[in-house]
Chain A
Amino acid sequence: MSHVLVLVEISHRGHIADSARGLLALAARLGDPVAVVATREPLADDVVAKLGSLGAAQVYQGRSDAAGTALVAPQVEALAAAVAALSPAAVLVSHSYDGREAAARLAVRTGSGVLVDAVNVRAEDGRIIANGSIWGGNYLVDSATTGMPVITVRPGAVDESAPQASAQVTAESVTVDAATAGVIDSYNDAPEVSERPSLLGAKKVVSGGRGFGSKENFALVEQLADALGAAVGASRAAVDAGYSPQTTQVGQTGVSVSPDLYVALGISGAIQHRAGMQTAKTIVAINKDADAPIFEVADFGIVGDVFTIVPQLVEAIKARSA
């Protein structure tokens, strides 16, 4: 079988990105998965073991002194070197901040087409096909390229895992042309968020909107999320107002989620917000305006005040699980 490359992102704190599991699972469906990483130091044994347990039989390490200081360029060089060495059938990359930039730059190097934001991939009649869910899931589109595809995969879209493997590492030095890369000066890490699940791939999401009126009040959203074991999301208006961090924005220009349960609190349900959540299995909405468009897509809607209802919900759910 041919190789399928997966760009595994490793954070500056040494964490393997959550996207690695799903990407390796898709790669294992299409061929022999190879994890490609760009780091400065040799890979720690536990990192190699983890990559093996996620399904990578082979790890291709591009070693670069610029890893960690040059923006994205070391990953591009590692991928380009791995493509040259292994002639893969496809390259899979997360549709993350770093991932899609690396994918785009690699594609220019190799003259390859990029299939963006796939939620699934499959091999059919010798071709690799990416399936995308566009405009809020209004359309499902299959696409392919005329040569080796570079595919970016929507974070959180893949549930499955690849069979475990035992990873062998190949290390190659790669060189970054400093003149063509941005420089990372320092990191401002978000505080490590408690036990709360991450929005990407979450089974339950509770989102709050402008209806909360302040960052203090937005704590109600977090309380209900915690009672349900859900991730926290927000509308753009809530993010703009500073109630919730940018990374929690759900919608057209934020994260797209497809959870089993989506609860929209004090959110009007503008078309751009719905574009990020209307593929949820069950949608619940609470809004004091009976005409709010969110009710058009809600399976269960309550016309009422979030300040009255949300605390009651939190109590009732806690009482049930007690």
Chain B
Amino acid sequence: MRIVVLVKQVPDTSDVRKLDLNTGLLDRDAGEPIVDEINERGLEAALRYKDDNKGTEVVVLSMGPENAIKSIRKALSMGADSGVHIVDDSLAGADALVTSLAISKALERTGYDLVVAGNESTDGNGGIVPAMISERLGIPLLGFLVNMEITEAQVSGERQGDDGTANVHAGLPAIVTVTERFDYARFPNFKGIMTAKRKPVDTVTLAELGVDAAEVSSLDRTEVISAVERPARTAGTKIDDDGTAAATLVEYLATNRLV
């Protein structure tokens, strides 16, 4: 079984992230680039299946600038077998339609039984690229899983919904998205870090994937028209509880018509 884990390199959410107000795009220099936490959880799920099922191959695939190789190496050090890196200058600022096109072509080239993605990325918050990939490849999507069971022939699990969960399944090949209810990932060990450097990474351009410029330009584009930064909040009153704080708070709420 070949499991391909889609890994996106994003700015660390613990750092203050900046938007370039002229282009409306992420300022990639603000915030340390890291593997999106949700993708580490997806990788962990794939690696656990591999731990129990010899002969499983785990491939990490990332589309991103040159430095996204750092995230691919991190995933390799955690235990993935090989990597695919889609890097092409024309992809700078690519929207979800273009991203999903490039990733779909790369998945066809690499081959897959199961694709594991995150439910949403922390820089885009779209949660739409995996569904677009499922549509392009004509494979089922089990999105927003809170748990997952993989067998040779199918994948199943509980999908989060608005008022509860649903038990869902799909035959392979399929794509799934995992949520934060999946476990945190393992840490790379010394051996992992040493071997990661020697593991193969296939670096591909759009031309090598057979994505022609005409197909890309036939797609509608999304564009940012304007972006404004909101002033930061400031701290208000802070009191120590001396036994009367609850009463003072209720007064405050009453004055502001909140009770």
Contacts and interface: CB of A to CB of B under 8 A. Distances in A.
A241 interface: no
A293 B174 CA distance: 42
Contacts of A76: 135
Interface string B148-167: 00000000101111111111
The majority secondary structure among interface residues of chain B is mixed
Chain A interface main SS type: mixed
Given A113-B97, A138-B230, A253-B180, A108 B135 contact: yes
Interface of B: 13-14, 16-17, 19, 24, 38, 95-97, 100, 120, 122, 124-132, 134-136, 138-144, 146, 156, 158-171, 174, 179-181, 218-230, 232-233, 235-241, 245-247, 249-250, 252-254, 256, 258-259
A115 B222 CA distance: 7
Contact of B227 (A17, A108, A139, A188): A139
Contacts, number: 271
8 contacts: A71-B166, A105-B135, A114-B222, A182-B169, A185-B168, A302-B245, A312-B247, A320-B250
Interface in A148-176: 148-149, 152
A297 B235 contact: yes
Contacts of A275: 13
B163 A139 contact: no
Contact of A185 (B126, B141, B169, B174): B169
A223 interface: no
A100 B128 contact: yes
B31 to A, nearest CB: 10
Interface stretch (A32-40, A42-50, A129-137, A207-215): A129-137
B236 A11 contact: no
A246 B181 contact: yes
B161 A98 contact: yes
Contacts of B164: 187-190
8 smallest beta-carbon distances between A and B, as pairs: A304-B241, A104-B131, A312-B246, A104-B128, A299-B236, A147-B220, A113-B222, A301-B238
Contacts of A102: 131
A204 interface: yes
Given A101-B131, A295-B235, A303 B240 contact: yes
Contacts of B226: 141-142
A317 B13 contact: no
A236 interface: yes
B105 to A, nearest CB: 13
Contact of A300 (B24, B134, B236): B236
